[in-house]
Amino acid sequence: MTKGYLKAEDLYKLKSVADPRLSSNGKDLVYVETKISEEKDEYVSNLYYIDVEQKTTPVQWTYGEHRNHSPRWSPAQQEVAFVSNRSGKNQIYVLKATGGEARQVTECTNGASNPVWSPDGKKIAFNVSLGEEEQLVEKDKKEEKKLVPLEVDKMKYKSDAAGFWNGKYSQIAVVDLETGDTELVTKGKNDYHLQGWSPDGKHLAVSTDLNEDLDFSFVSDVYLLDIQTKELEKITNSNGYFGGVTWSPNGRYIGLLGHEREYDNATLSKIWVYDTEQKELSCLTAETDLLIGDYAIGDFQQGAVSPGLLWTENNESFYFLASDHGNTVVYYGSLQGELYPALLENQHVYGLTTGGTLNRAVVAISKPTLHGELFLLDVPTGNLEQLTEVNKEYTDEVKLAEVEEIEFKSKDDWDLHGWIMKPANFEEGKKYPLILEIHGGPHAMYANSYFHEFQMLAAEGYAVLYINPRGSHGYGQKFVDAVRGDYGGRDYADLMEAVDYALEQYDFIDETKLGVTGGSYGGFMTNWIVGHTNRFKAAVTQRSISNWISFYGVSDIGYYFNAWQIKSELEDAETLWKHSPLAYVKNVETPLLILHSEKDFRCPIEQAEQLFIALKHRKKETKFVRFPESNHELSRSGKPSLRIARLNYILNWFHEYIK
């Protein structure tokens, strides 16, 4: 059978599997499958079950056109708690493993999230959002729809994820499953994030910042909250970001992920362990250059969850994810300092669960031609058995483009790494246009993972080049820190040298038909490129930065991001302007499409507005597309129809000016 080629609209046909949860018996697996309802233009998520010992066919556990997610096994493995919006708001439900209807266990005023079971299985702790005068449970509350002024007296009054601050704080509550009684265990003008419940049932681990001036505080401390007295015991040192808390089975050790901000937001995340008997916090990976966690970037998976440290039954060893050289891999570690990969392949592991077992894990894996599936990992042998095939029907009918890894030396002798994707309909002897893709962050990592945008371009006859320039994660602390204070410097050179390398090594690339695109930092770099070279025939800038001076005051992170990344304050406007693409707009000769979301608070739309007007005022070839009701995450989790519209805008611009 002749296979067809991918279209942007194929997002409607594809499913994402994520957040696998293996019970402590090592046998029962529950996970989340997400698809898109084309009719409703919304995401639909449901829970599925697999017996991993019998390799049974997946069984659907929840139904309906809702978002059912965050499944968590009860300690006795007889029930699963999960979050659902079936009532109109996110609330917590409990479903028996033997079947039947799910039981709603919270009726919180503003919804509930992040369920965590008590060790005895009688209670569930969770997060809620509450204003100072709001009640935890207010069944008859009517939604206020009238317009009211927004009073602002702090700098952190908006965020790209949550929008404008609404006067509510994240608090922690506990519901008794037998009586239905719900108790608020934190309060005040701070956000508390639930991390876990101690094995002896006496403490909750929570993360928060209790400094008085939060506008100038950039830490996340971990505390132990005494369930009875509500007293807090701090176990970190108010000098960095810490979270991902997990307890060893015997309760003596607490695993944490985090760092002490030695390089601000470019600092590698490390593994820390707190000894509850000795009252000591120590870093287990201080002497390594390994980045702990999944920092791969993509545009497909929905609901991926970071697992933190997954302790085994011996109380001294654990598994975790690490980002390394364009892959995310499963590592084994121990309190004795052991550290080695348990699954090291060209892959993106975006989910990991062990149920506390030593020799078995379930991993969610994506590759450039694998959207994402669940696999059973036998740790001693490294053997993988595939458990799901949610997109098999699609991949049987559609030809995906293969990728080839590239490695080369920069002119200043740094090792650089990336990929080139040939057109899906590649034929020897033919010439093809090339699109350079640039990731955001800049502290992120392209990986051996599925990318719908790249596959769409390849299906339309484009080769796609993408690399991890300096500033990217996955290549050590020196590499990720190198971009700070040098935006538009060696990072720009890395990308141009990657294009040079591709043209030298691959004779199928037509050097007269080059395009470039990227989002966020990648949008900044696209703007920078077209202001500094005319080698590209067309460019698409997405959710970009054009002016660091105005970015300082309009972005939700601007007033500190400039200092951390450009290494300049507002008083040094000359340096901020020197690094601003807007300063070089007179040099732009490349047709530039500007894509931006109306409610992007990370890189606000005024950045695009300035760029568009400056280009049009100088009679440059440009077009500006504004996406309604969308934020910085449009390309990954935005309204499905708008995600597809965005992809087609990119494709049509390149078709018009390159092909």
CA distance 106 to 370: 38
CA distance 125 to 192: 12
Tracing tokens 């190198």 back to the chain, one arrives at 482
Query: Which of the residues 520, 550, 555, 597 is marked catalytic?
Result: 520
Closest CA to 438 of 463, 416, 408, 469: 469
For the chain, what's the residue count? Answer: 659
Could you tell me which residues are beta bridge partners of residue 31? 48
Contact 350, 370 (CB under 8 A): no
Closest CA to 309 of 271, 275, 279: 271
Q: Are strands 163-164 and 168-176 parallel, antiparallel or unpaired?
A: unpaired
Active-site annotation holds for 417: no
Q: Which residues touch 11 (CB under 8 Å, ≥6 apart)?
A: 36, 452, 640, 643, 644
Q: Are strands 270-275 and 280-283 parallel, antiparallel or unpaired?
A: antiparallel
Could you tell me which residues are beta bridge partners of residue 324? 327
71, with CB counted inside 10 A (0-12, 13-18, 19+), is buried
Going along 381-431, which residue ranges are E strands?
Answer: 383-386, 398-399, 403-409, 415-421
CA distance 269 to 499: 31
Q: How many CB atoms lie within 10 A of CB 590?
A: 23
Active-site annotation holds for 520: yes
Query: Which of the residues 193, 417, 443, 632 is marked catalytic?
Result: 632
The residues that are catalytic are 520, 632
